[in-house]
Amino acid sequence: MPAGFMNVLRLHGVGDLRLHTESIPRVSPGKVLLKVSEVGICGSDLHWFAEANIGDAHISRPLVLGHEFSAIVEDASSVLDGQKVAVDPAITCQSCEFCLAGEPNLCSRIQFAGHGEDDGALCEYLVWPESNLYPLPISLQSEEGVMLEPLGVAMHAVELGAIQPGTVVGVFGVGPIGLLVVQLLRLAGADEIIVTDRLEHRLEAALSLGATQGILIENGAGEQLTRSAGKRGIEVAFEVAGENQAVEDAINVVKPGGRVILVGIPSTDKTAFTASTARRKGITIKLSRRMRYTYPRAIQLVEDGLIDVLSLVTHRFPLRDYQQAFRTAARREGIKILIRT
């Protein structure tokens, strides 16, 4: 087990990231020491970076971001010592009513890497519960291990949509999670997958991964989407942009009796839509909260080649180049940006 010091990246305030030298943490019962391999920059990390908060959670001390990550176990006391693992960033209590009901993503005492008071993975070493570790098959790279967390988020969202073979679906926003939603919809048998985004390179990625039509938008896409959906109309709409216009577009174009799944996180902590439109259509609106019980299935989907996660990784930076990594992600260049620790 290593002893000494490590590099740790902490967010001190809006746009204020600083690299620190700190002691390597000590293990405690039920936890093991991890050598962090790679960390993905998520949209929620960008909220913290740009606003020093996300929703009603505010930075109260210098915070280590990062919840999408893979690692190698470096703990001789663990049966997983030396194993390459994907890491579930959510530590749940396993005893509240939601955990006992099979909904750990709604745990009332959840701890989450890189959120609020809980440090994340943008550091060289991390101590984490052994029960949250998922060994990666030899055939999978550590980068694919990183992408299992966003894949799990996409899986949970698609499950909420209750997709049936032949469904006409709209996906509003095709960043990393939106692109994973597209692939899962294809696997679920969706007949048409119509996607929208403000960035042309993301639309091109969506079309290559199974979308049937891509619409580049500037000020909403309601009329064009309505024409594209044809006579049947969009039956299920996924909002994955984190922008209120995408919410409005989803509600405006979904057919009466349809479903709208809200996945994106708005920067203002407010979501608004025209109530009369939603009410008169009698639509169902569901909000997606992280994921539940997805890691084993996500690993199998990637190992079997049914979901492509590697093509979404477009930029890789060492930890020392954290400023460039976050600036690249904030400009929405490429798709998924990784930091190697």
Burial of 80 (C-beta count, 10 Å sphere; 0-12/13-18/19+): middle
pTM for this entry: 0.94
pLDDT digits (tens, 9 = 90+) for 82-128: 999 999 999 999 999 999 999 999 999 999 999 988 999 999 999 99
Instruction: Give the span between the Cα atoms of 1 and 71, in whole angstroms.
Output: 15
How does DSSP classify residue 314?
A: E
262 phi, psi to nearest 5 deg: -95, 115
Can you tell me whether residue 243 is helix, strand or coil?
Answer: coil
Q: Which domains does the chain have, with CATH numbers?
A: 5-147+309-340 (3.90.180.10), 151-287 (3.40.50.720)
Distance between CA atoms of 239 and 255, rounded to whole angstroms?
Answer: 15
Q: What is the pLDDT of residue 116?
A: 86
d(CA 134, CA 130): 9
HSE-CB for 112 with a 13 A CA cutoff: 19
| The pLDDT of residue 318 | 97
**Residues shown for the chain:** 341
Q: Please tell me whether residue 335 adopts helix, strand or coil conformation.
A: coil
Percentage of the residues of the chain whose pLDDT score is greater than 70: 95
> Mean per-residue pLDDT for 168-176?
96
Q: What is the pLDDT of residues 294-306, one digit of tens each?
A: 999 999 999 999 9
